[in-house]
């Protein structure tokens, strides 16, 4: 056991979790006689070794930040929103469709319309689950799972059978959107070695600030958290749990929808047939689980996640190691973050003179609280 100050412990626990996750990956690679050092060095090399790599890493992180925010807003209200892939997909298709259909509009009108429409599409999909929960008590886990598949097949139908043939190259792919409908910024792409980085990253950073502000500084955020912590007490305090359920799901879906919009207008510039639920939805959930409730946490987690994902591709080509290893590392890191209580047992909080008495009382208090927890939980 290592003695550290409480503040250091808060930093050390996640760091140890990340290192432990990499170790799990290394052990698996050693068992199947791959070289972990070569693997990890080629991973970091390809994710961060060139401007193009950095650009792609940021590009990958952009929608994940927004989707992670979406997941966290709904979890703050006590909901497990696994409809993230569907909500993002709705945003993606909507934005591309509008971009293609109204491609003659000037950029300063077209771009806001695309983005807002995508946000609304995502919010509506999530809003259905929220509305059903608020007025019918329908379990949101079921309804969001079902909505994922409904959106998946509905998008396929809309894009293959309803969308005008003029907007598509073939059944599975739409045309690419013109420059005035795109979030790409030529000078930004050029600065990052012609990677697919887009102006979406600024939207994501603004999203982080909004998330922090709404949750920490506004009544809306406070009510969402209050309802999440104790719906009965908040109803007693005069908050409408119905309203807050719907508001939190709408906000959650709005952020996911924006994530999908950026995937379309920034990364791919088109929409193509999806055969399974959207991976950015699930990746965004991973980022949220890693990053926790804080804006900074989500930002750091999305960067770490993207280094692994983008670096993993390079690792596969440079070192010949199966790409899957990075997903195993990511899952392992989340596992160690989840058992942070156990990881924290490695460190003993050091008592400094100043805080000794305070901590002593705090410890007895927490012991009391713990036994109470045992009595109530």
Q: How far is CA 327 from CA 4, 323, 334, 338, in A?
A: 32, 8, 11, 16
Counting contacts by CB under 8 A, is residue 374 touching another protein? yes
Nearer to another protein, 91 or 291 (CB): 291
Q: Please state the closest distance from residue 99 (CB atom) to another protein, in A.
A: 24
With contact defined as beta carbons under 8 Å apart, do 32 and 173 qualify?
no
Give the binding range for another protein (CB under 8 A) out of 180-188, 233-241, 246-254, 322-330. Answer: 322-330
Sort 349 into a burial class: Cβ within 10 Å, 0-12 / 13-18 / 19+: middle
Distance from C-alpha of 332 to C-alpha of 26, rounded to nearest angstrom: 11
Among 1, 32, 166, 187, binds another protein (CB under 8 A): 32
Give the binding range for another protein (CB under 8 A) out of 47-55, 199-207, 219-227, 327-335. Answer: 327-335
Q: What is the DSSP string of 313-328?
A: HHHHHHH---THHHHH
Q: How far is CA 197 from CA 24, 278, 352, in A?
A: 31, 20, 47
Nearer to another protein, 217 or 367 (CB): 367
Counting contacts by CB under 8 A, is residue 20 touching another protein? no
Among 267, 277, 302, 306, binds another protein (CB under 8 A): 277
Nearer to another protein, 103 or 235 (CB): 235
DSSP symbol at 270:
S
Q: Please state the closest distance from residue 157 (CB atom) to another protein, in A.
A: 4
Dihedral angle computed from the Cα positions of residues 35, 39, 41 and 45, in that order, rounded to the nearest 10 degrees:
150
Q: What is the DSSP string of 292-307?
A: TT-HHHHHHHHHHHHH
Q: Please state the closest distance from residue 254 (CB atom) to another protein, in A.
A: 21
Counting contacts by CB under 8 A, is residue 167 touching another protein? no
Q: How far is CA 287 from CA 72, 85, 296, in A?
A: 10, 14, 12
Nearest to 144 by CA among 75, 211, 208, 98: 75
Q: Please state the closest distance from residue 181 (CB atom) to another protein, in A.
A: 27
Counting contacts by CB under 8 A, is residue 285 touching another protein? yes
- How far is C-alpha 352 from the chain's CA centre? 38
Q: Please state the closest distance from residue 355 (CB atom) to another protein, in A.
A: 25
Among 11, 338, 346, 356, binds another protein (CB under 8 A): 338
Q: Please state the closest distance from residue 85 (CB atom) to another protein, in A.
A: 10
Counting contacts by CB under 8 A, is residue 164 touching another protein? no
Among 236, 341, 353, 354, binds another protein (CB under 8 A): 341
Angle between helices 51-76 and 219-229 (to 10 degrees): 60
Binding interface with another protein (CB under 8 A): 28, 32, 80, 82, 132, 136-139, 141-143, 145-150, 153-154, 156-157, 161, 275-277, 282, 285-286, 289, 322, 324-328, 330-332, 334-335, 337-339, 341-342, 370-371, 373-377
């Amino acid at each position: 056991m290592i003695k550290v100050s409480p503040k250091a412990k808060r930093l050390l626990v996640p760091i140890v979790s990340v290192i432990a996750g990499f170790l799990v990956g290394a052990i698996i690679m050693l068992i199947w006689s791959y070289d972990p050092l070569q693997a990890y060095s080629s991973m970091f090399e390809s994710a961060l070794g060139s401007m193009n790599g950095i650009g792609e890493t940021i590009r990958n992180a952009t929608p994940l930040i927004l989707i992670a925010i979406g997941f966290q807003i709904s979890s703050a209200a006590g909901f497990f929103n696994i409809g993230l892939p569907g909500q993002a997909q709705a945003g993606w298709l909507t934005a591309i469709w509008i971009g293609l259909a109204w491609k003659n509009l000037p950029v300063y009108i077209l771009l806001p319309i695309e983005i807002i429409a995508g946000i609304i599409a995502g919010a509506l999909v999530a809003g259905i689950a929220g509305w059903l929960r608020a007025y019918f008590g329908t379990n949101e886990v079921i309804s969001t799972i079902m909505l994922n598949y409904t959106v998946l097949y509905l998008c396929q139908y809309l894009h293959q059978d309803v969308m005008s043939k003029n907007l598509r190259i073939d059944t599975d792919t739409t045309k690419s959107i013109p420059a005035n409908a795109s979030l790409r910024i030529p000078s930004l792409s050029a600065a990052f070695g012609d990677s697919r980085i887009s102006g979406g990253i600024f939207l994501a950073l603004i999203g982080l600030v909004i998330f922090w502000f709404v949750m920490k500084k506004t009544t809306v955020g406070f009510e969402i958290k209050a309802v999440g912590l104790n719906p009965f007490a908040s109803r007693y305090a005069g908050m409408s749990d119905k309203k807050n359920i719907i508001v939190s799901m709408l906000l959650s879906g709005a952020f996911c929808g924006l994530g999908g919009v950026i995937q379309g207008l920034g990364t791919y510039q088109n929409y193509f047939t999806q055969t399974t639920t959207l991976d950015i939805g699930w990746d965004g959930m991973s980022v949220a689980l890693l990053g926790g409730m804080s804006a900074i946490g989500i930002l750091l987690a999305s960067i770490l996640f993207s280094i692994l994902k983008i670096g993993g591709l390079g690792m596969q080509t440079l070192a010949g190691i199966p790409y899957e290893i990075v997903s195993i590392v990511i899952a392992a890191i989340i596992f160690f973050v989840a058992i942070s209580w156990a990881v924290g047992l490695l460190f003993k909080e050091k008592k400094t003179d100043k805080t000794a008495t305070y901590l002593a009382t705090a410890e007895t208090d927490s012991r009391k609280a713990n036994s109470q927890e045992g009595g109530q939980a």
